[in-house]
């Protein structure tokens, strides 16, 4: 992916650029609003990572608004220390696609970037999803692995659907909480892990090759490789 990072904090920039490059992405970065605006408007990017408070009179939100007004549809992830609900809503209303609060875990950023780029490509109107020999039908709400059909609760099905839509990508616990349960809070204990292990029981337990993997310090990934 080709990414643009607009961020004025040097240390955060170095950390994010290095990490993204190691993950195989190309990263441009701008340390002020004006340069960020110029790059975002002139180069094609897969995802833009935008800090909100920037030096140089142009703040992150006004860049996003300007881009959106000029018809630029590049997915934008807002990275900000402003964590109030009101601030988030403001950020998303201005045209941002996702909002990540500082401080953040790098795995979380990477996973969300993947999800954003995938969303922009548009997985379209698929009705059947497949990962390896696991197959789910979104219309009949049925899951089959190999020859065997797997009985899933509605919520388990939703969890599996989300994982399959993001197959091959790391999905964090927070992403699961937000997208599968629509919960936007910290549930204190490792409830998501318990749900995952239950799902794993159903789809992986009796099979030689496990599909659902735990990615240390980040989250989970469903993959057949």
Partner 1 sequence: MNKFTSSTTFRSTTFALSFGYIVFGIVALVLFAAPLWYAWDVTVEDGRAEILHADTQRLADVFHREGAIGLKTFIDARVGMQLPAERILLLADSSLHRISGNLPVWPRTVPAQPGLYTVILDLGGVPTQSVVMRTVLPGGYNLLVGRDVAKFAPLTRHFWTGLGGAVVVLSIAGVLGGVLIRRAILARIHSIRQTVLAIVQGDLSHRLPSRSSGDELDTLSHTINGMLDQIEQLINGIRNVSNSIAHDLRTPLAELRSRLEELSLTRPNTEETFAEIDGAVADVDRVIRIFNALLRLAEIDTGMRRSGFVQVNANELAAEVVEFYSPAAEVKDVRLSFNSNGPILVSGDPTLLAQAVGNLIDNALKYAGEQGLVTVEVQHRADNLVEISVADGGPGIPDTEKPKVTQRFYRGDTSRGTPGVGLGLSLVQAVAKLHGGTLELTDNNPGLRARMVIEPGALVSGRPRIVTGPKSESSQTKSEPKTVAL
Q: How far apart are CA 116 and CA 29, in angstroms?
A: 19
Instruction: Tell me the β-bridge partners of 220.
Output: 171, 214
Q: How far apart are CA 14 and CA 180, in angstroms?
A: 33
Six-digit token string for 3: 């990414």
Starting from the edge strand earliest in sequence, which strands make up the sheet with 171-172, in order? 171-172, 219-222, 212-215
Quick one: which segment of 11-19, 52-60, 64-72, 89-97 binds partner 1 (CB under 8 A)? 89-97
Nearer to partner 1, 53 or 89 (CB): 89
Answer yes or no whether residue 182 interacts with partner 1 by CB under 8 A: yes
Q: Which of residues 10-39 bind partner 1 (CB under 8 A)?
A: none
Quick one: which segment of 17-25, 45-53, 98-106, 160-168 binds partner 1 (CB under 8 A)? 98-106
Q: How far apart are CA 48 and CA 117, in angstroms?
A: 10
Kindly state the smallest distance separating residue 195's Cβ from partner 1, in Å.
Answer: 5
Helices 85-93 and 60-69, packing angle to 10 deg:
30
Q: What are phi and psi of 69, to 5 degrees?
A: -65, -35
Number of residues assigned to the chain? 225
Q: What are phi and psi of 138, to 5 degrees?
A: -75, -20
Quick one: which segment of 30-38, 52-60, 78-86, 127-135 binds partner 1 (CB under 8 A)? 78-86
Q: Which of residues 107-136 bind partner 1 (CB under 8 A)?
A: 107-108, 112
Q: Which of residues 184-213 bind partner 1 (CB under 8 A)?
A: 184-192, 194-195, 197-198
Answer yes or no whether residue 101 interacts with partner 1 by CB under 8 A: yes
Nearer to partner 1, 26 or 83 (CB): 83
The answer to whether 128 touches 135, Cβ cutoff 8 Å, is yes
Kindly state the smallest distance separating residue 69's Cβ from partner 1, in Å.
Answer: 19
* Interface ranges with partner 1 (CB under 8 A): 83-86, 88-89, 91-92, 96-101, 103-105, 107-108, 112, 155, 172-175, 177-179, 181-192, 194-195, 197-198, 217
């Amino acid at each position: 992916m080709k990414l643009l990072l607009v961020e004025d904090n040097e240390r955060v920039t170095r950390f994010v650029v290095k990490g993204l490059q190691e993950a195989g992405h190309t990263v441009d970065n701008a340390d002020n609003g004006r340069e960020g605006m110029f790059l975002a408007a002139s180069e094609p990017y897969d995802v833009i990572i935008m800090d909100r408070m920037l030096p140089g009179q142009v703040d992150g939100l006004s860049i996003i608004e300007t881009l959106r007004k000029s018809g630029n549809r590049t997915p934008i992830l807002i990275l900000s220390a402003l964590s109030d609900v009101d601030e988030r809503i403001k950020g998303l209303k201005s045209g941002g696609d996702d909002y990540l609060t500082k401080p953040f875990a790098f795995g979380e950023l990477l996973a969300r970037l993947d999800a954003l780029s995938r969303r922009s490509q548009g997985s379209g109107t698929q009705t059947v999803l497949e990962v390896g020999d696991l197959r789910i039908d979104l219309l009949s709400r049925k899951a089959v692995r190999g020859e065997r059909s797997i009985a899933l609760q509605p919520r388990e099905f939703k969890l599996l659907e989300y994982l399959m839509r993001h197959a091959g990508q790391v999905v964090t616990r927070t992403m699961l909480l937000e997208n599968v349960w629509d919960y936007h809070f910290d549930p204190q204990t490792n409830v998501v892990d318990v749900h995952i292990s239950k799902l794993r029981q159903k789809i992986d337990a009796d099979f030689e090759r496990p599909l659902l993997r735990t990615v240390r310090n980040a989250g989970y990934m469903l993959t057949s490789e």
